[in-house]
Structure 1
Amino acid sequence: MKAWVHHETGTPDVLRLEQRPRPRPGKGEVLVRNRAIGLNPVDWKFIDWGHSSWEWPHIPGVDGAGEVEELGESVTHVAPGARVAYHNDLVRPGSFAEYTVVPARALIPLPPTLPFAAAATIPCPALTAFQAVSKVPLKPGAHILVTGASGAVGGILLQLAHRRGWVVHAVCSASQAARVKRLGAATVTDYHRAEWREEVRERTGAQPLQAVFDMVSGEHAATLAPLLAANGHLVCIQDRQERAPLPAFTTTISLHEVGLNAMHGYADDWQWRSLVTAGAAIAADIAQGVVDPQIVEISAFEQLPEALARLKSGPNPGNRVVEL
């Protein structure tokens, strides 16, 4: 099979298109023929960082969509030819190839009308967003803040939150304000303005924020903790809070970390069923046109490194996808 591999760490231009042995699925696994690949920041980051568990040369990529080609031992809940999307463990050979071996429990079933390019946007961005909103037990009408609201994860999180009846205050660049409002934001604040936090505080004075979803960093999220109401929730999509950002026995906020890849090492089968069920529901909503997959670019497989480099350099008002 053809696969993009790297023999060393570095920028996306270290990737080389090579002929590699077509893998075979083991027990509890399936072989997927990839039709589309979702590109994510974690892809270029780990190409640069490497991982101690990798065998070299390594095939990167965590997200893909395609058809089940072959079943491994003990796989009975899916049939060859089934249309699926998946998030693969980043320590395994990945999706930047014509074929990828995937744990069967990670397969997201797809409706027949959903294009593979749209399906490839679901695993990392949408499942991360689903995990994040599932952390907080808020009722309809709750006011929340979403930073990075115009990005791949932020945009789908905004849509999921809006559909739960939450009032979303979005933070993004002014150039994306109109699009973010179409996705469901009640207000939009331009993060380029030095006083944007004070603007958010003024806007939410009558209805204090019950949750903040931050896409930037743990350090950045800590600066937003004072915006939360008592017993609010601070959810970190990037990084985590290593120490409490506020004094004890003040607003007593709850701290949450989100890490989709951790599911591969620590989640049980029941948790995976819950996650892929959520993914299937999002896939159906995209197929029906009620959720926007936010595709900003579809590239050919042969141009994958260049597309990944554009993802790295940004800006990325949505998802970049590669088709085979």
Structure 2
Amino acid sequence: MSNTYRAWGWTPGAGLEGLQLIDKPLPKPGPGQILVTNHAIALNPVDWKICEWGHADWHQGTVPGVDGAGIVSAVGEGVDLPLGSRVAYHQSLSRDGSFAEHCVVDASLVMHIPANFEATAAAAVPCPALTAWQALAKIASGASRDVLVVGAGGAVGFYLVQLAAQQGLRVWATASEKHHARLKQLGVVGVFDYRASDWQEALKAALGERPLHAVFDTVSGAHAASLAHLLGYNGHLVCIQDRQENAPLPAFSTAISLHEVALNSIHAHGRLLDRQALRVAGERLLQQVADGRLLAPQRLDFAFEALPQALRQLKDGSASGKWVTRLV
């Protein structure tokens, strides 16, 4: 193994234009860590957003990227994972990420890849599927089984509608019209074009006397707040993007619960039991996708050398699907 590796390095204040393909010294994993030789890397919206917004822990040459898959090529003290193990991972935003030939990650959070599953497919699962799983876990059972997934055309929404339907929930969704037929095939009972001015009234008419038990919003905290009135008594407003800083409805009205979904926070705030639960859930999701019980978004392939261009296309929304590159 070489003493250096190729990685995409970040430049402060330069956004996606400042990403540069650089050589970095090969790191050694510390206690509880492993070195993964990446076989595949997947892109997520958080990747281009942090590249443009910046991060308190980032500096010149920090490597972006949260999702990857490959093999264990070195282990730190206290780690008993065999070398060569096939794993997928979600990396902390505070450390060098997956946009590289190698990545050091915490051994406690890596997920074993099923034997019948290729790395390119596995790399595309962690961030969106685990986010969807966390979002769904926020809500308790209620009198109504009707839930709304806002922005179901994205990868998180794509997984979320399937997981919710598998739990017996009656799933409604908003998405651009090109996604409607596919979402209905996944078990969504009704899909509304979010650009239509009357979509909320159409949803209310379709629901009739049944209230919405939960709204899962993938747009923003402000957008989620604007939908709080759609919820019934003791309903749940789940923010997958951003959070609610203030209650969107008056006290002692419908008594809704507010939820924040923040997958990255487990790296700094998750205890051992949290990490174990996440790993178990991740491996279950990987197996479900491998078995075809959970369908993955369409894969969009790109070359590692063209990663910044793929991030720009992800940001622009010029193509629908999950951007993935194979390194090996």
SS at match of 2:284: helix
Say which is worse superposed, 259-268 or 3-12, in terms of deviation: 3-12
- 1:315 is displaced (CA, Å) by 4.4
* Pick aligned residue for 1:19 from 16, 23, 26: 23
Superposition pairs of residues 156-167 of structure 1, within 5 angstroms: 156-167=159-170
Deviation track 1:291-322 (CA, whole Å, cap 9, x = no partner) reads: 11213301121111111110011145332112
1:293 match: 296
- 1:10 is displaced (CA, Å) by 2.6
* Pick aligned residue for 1:147 from 139, 146, 150: 150
- 1:183 is displaced (CA, Å) by 2.0
Matched, 1:171 2:174: yes
* Pick aligned residue for 1:205 from 208, 229, 232: 208
Aligned counterparts of 1:52 and 1:174: Cα–Cα separation in 2: 38
Matched, 1:81 2:84: yes
2:58 match: 54
- 1:140 is displaced (CA, Å) by 10
TM-score by structure 1 length?
Answer: 0.96
Matched, 1:108 2:111: yes
* Pick aligned residue for 2:226 from 211, 216, 223: 223
Q: Is the 8 A contact 2:117 2:290 kept in 1?
A: yes
Q: Is the 8 A contact 1:239 1:257 kept in 2?
A: yes
2:96 match: 93
Deviation track 1:267-314 (CA, whole Å, cap 9, x = no partner) reads: 101111101111101100111111112133011211111111100111
Distance 1:261 1:316, change over 3 A: farther
Q: Is the 8 A contact 1:31 1:102 kept in 2?
A: yes
Aligned counterparts of 1:87 and 1:295: Cα–Cα separation in 2: 20
Q: Is the 8 A contact 1:168 1:187 kept in 2?
A: yes
* Pick aligned residue for 2:44 from 36, 40, 49: 40
2:238 match: 235
> Which residues of structure 1 form unaligned runs of 5+?
none
Aligned counterparts of 1:315 and 1:309: Cα–Cα separation in 2: 9
Matched, 1:320 2:323: yes
> Which residues of structure 2 form unaligned runs of 5+?
none
* Pick aligned residue for 2:249 from 246, 249, 252: 246
2:195 match: 192
Superposition pairs of residues 117-128 of structure 1, within 5 angstroms: 117-128=120-131
2:7 match: 3
Matched, 1:63 2:67: yes
- 1:184 is displaced (CA, Å) by 1.9
Q: What CA RMSD, in Å, does the superposition of the two structures yield over aligned residues?
A: 1.4
SS at match of 2:263: coil
Matched, 1:180 2:187: no
Aligned counterparts of 1:140 and 1:281: Cα–Cα separation in 2: 28
TM-score by structure 2 length?
Answer: 0.95
2:62 maps to a residue whose letter is H
Aligned counterparts of 1:320 and 1:270: Cα–Cα separation in 2: 31
Q: Is the 8 A contact 2:219 2:241 kept in 1?
A: yes
Aligned counterparts of 2:265 and 2:225: Cα–Cα separation in 1: 23
Q: Is the 8 A contact 1:172 1:189 kept in 2?
A: yes
Q: Is the 8 A contact 1:31 1:68 kept in 2?
A: yes
Q: Is the 8 A contact 1:140 1:164 kept in 2?
A: no
Aligned counterparts of 1:315 and 1:155: Cα–Cα separation in 2: 18
Aligned counterparts of 1:243 and 1:38: Cα–Cα separation in 2: 34
Aligned counterparts of 2:154 and 2:269: Cα–Cα separation in 1: 27
Aligned counterparts of 2:216 and 2:138: Cα–Cα separation in 1: 10
SS at match of 2:192: strand
Aligned counterparts of 1:59 and 1:9: Cα–Cα separation in 2: 15
Q: Is the 8 A contact 2:142 2:213 kept in 1?
A: no
1:136 maps to a residue whose letter is I
Deviation track 1:213-251 (CA, whole Å, cap 9, x = no partner) reads: 000111111111111110010000011111111111111
SS at match of 1:261: helix
Number of matched pairs = 323
Superposition pairs of residues 254-265 of structure 1, within 5 angstroms: 254-265=257-268
Superposition pairs of residues 262-281 of structure 1, within 5 angstroms: 262-281=265-284
